[in-house]
């Protein structure tokens, strides 16, 4: 098995692995799966990913065949979000996912990333167990609309106590995590927790104008009322499903 950065010629195989993985791991309709694959991994988007220094596509190659891949992106200088880890169903149980995760994490560390966050639908038992086994903690849940159906998505993160500090609001004290961020249209958002243990998300801190943004719509968009900074959904969006 060879784990490497994706190449231009891998694009058809990446789409095929994504489709087969989604069909096996998620309770999604065929139309939702096909729409998602075509939107997320069409030729132009894959081409942009391969040329963007803040995005990373890693593949696991078995005898010249791509059988798994990860998609991640750096949200700021030292944090990144792992959007997908897909393994072809025929190759599961052979440590492809584990090796791919480890090398992806190592490469992100070489890029300066010190903390990662990952997302997975709640009904994907194997995916949730995988991240838990890797030492990530569940830090919240979000409802997402996919092809007209609402699903619960679990949010996992590497929670380091050294990056969390108290933040005094008008009537309460919450905790801002400087190592856990969400990408914004203008500047990153930092995650705010209700307690220091980092188990429940309270809201998001806009680093552009240093204010609280805790409003989120059904598709995961966060909007800062002060400066217009917005977090756009990176994975699920019913507009194209």
Domain containing 95 — which CATH number? 3.40.630.30
The Cα–Cα gap between 102 and 173 comes to 36
Q: Residues 18, 48: one domain?
A: yes
pLDDT of residue 237: 39
Q: What domain range includes position 54? A: 2-158
pLDDT of residue 241: 28
Q: Residues 20, 138: one domain?
A: yes
Confidence of residue 142 (pLDDT cuts 50, 70, 90): confident
Over residues 166-189, the pLDDT tens digits come to 887 877 888 888 777 777 888 788
Over residues 199-218, the pLDDT tens digits come to 888 888 888 888 888 766 55
Residue among 235, 239, 238 at smallest CA distance from 117? 235
DSSP code, position 3: E
Q: Residues 41, 135: one domain?
A: yes
Q: Residues 114, 210: one domain?
A: no
Over residues 58-91, the pLDDT tens digits come to 999 998 999 999 999 888 778 888 988 999 999 9
pLDDT of residue 236: 44
Q: Considering 101, 135, 158, which residue would you say is the last residue of a domain?
A: 158
Q: Residues 98, 165: one domain?
A: no
Residue 238 lies in a domain: no
Over residues 87-122, the pLDDT tens digits come to 999 999 888 999 999 999 999 999 888 888 888 888
Over residues 6-31, the pLDDT tens digits come to 999 999 999 999 999 999 988 788 88
* pTM (2 d.p.): 0.67
CB neighbours of 231 closer than 8 A, spacing ≥ 6? 182, 183, 184, 185, 189, 204, 220, 221, 222
CB atoms < 10 A from the CB of 159, how many? 22
Q: Residues 14, 115: one domain?
A: yes
pLDDT of residue 114: 84
* Phi and psi, residue 58, nearest 5°: -115, 140
Over residues 157-169, the pLDDT tens digits come to 876 545 788 887 8
The Cα–Cα gap between 18 and 87 comes to 8
Report the domain count for the chain: 2
């Amino acid at each position: 098995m060879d784990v490497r950065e994706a190449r231009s010629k891998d694009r058809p195989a990446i789409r095929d692995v994504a489709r087969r993985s989604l069909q096996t791991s998620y309770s999604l309709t065929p139309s939702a799966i096909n729409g998602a694959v075509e939107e997320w991994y069409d030729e132009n988007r894959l081409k942009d990913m391969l040329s963007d220094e803040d995005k990373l596509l890693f593949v696991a190659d078995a005898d010249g065949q791509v059988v798994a891949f990860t998609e991640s992106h750096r949200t700021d200088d030292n944090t990144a979000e792992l959007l997908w880890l897909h393994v072809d169903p025929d190759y599961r149980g052979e440590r492809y996912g584990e090796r791919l995760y480890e090398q992806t994490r190592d490469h992100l560390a070489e890029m300066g990333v010190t903390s990662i966050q990952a997302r997975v639908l709640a009904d994907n038992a194997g995916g949730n167990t995988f991240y838990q086994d890797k030492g990530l903690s569940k830090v919240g849940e979000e409802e997402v609309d996919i092809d007209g159906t609402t699903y619960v998505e679990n949010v996992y993160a590497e929670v380091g106590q050294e990056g969390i500090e108290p933040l005094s609001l008008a009537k309460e004290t919450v905790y801002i995590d400087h190592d856990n961020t969400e990408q914004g249209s203008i500047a990153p958002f930092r995650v705010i927790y209700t307690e220091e243990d980092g188990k429940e998300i309270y809201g998001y801190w806009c680093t552009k104008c240093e204010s609280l943004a805790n409003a989120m719509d059904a598709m995961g968009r966060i909007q800062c009322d002060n400066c217009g900074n917005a977090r756009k959904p990176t994975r699920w969006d019913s507009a194209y499903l």
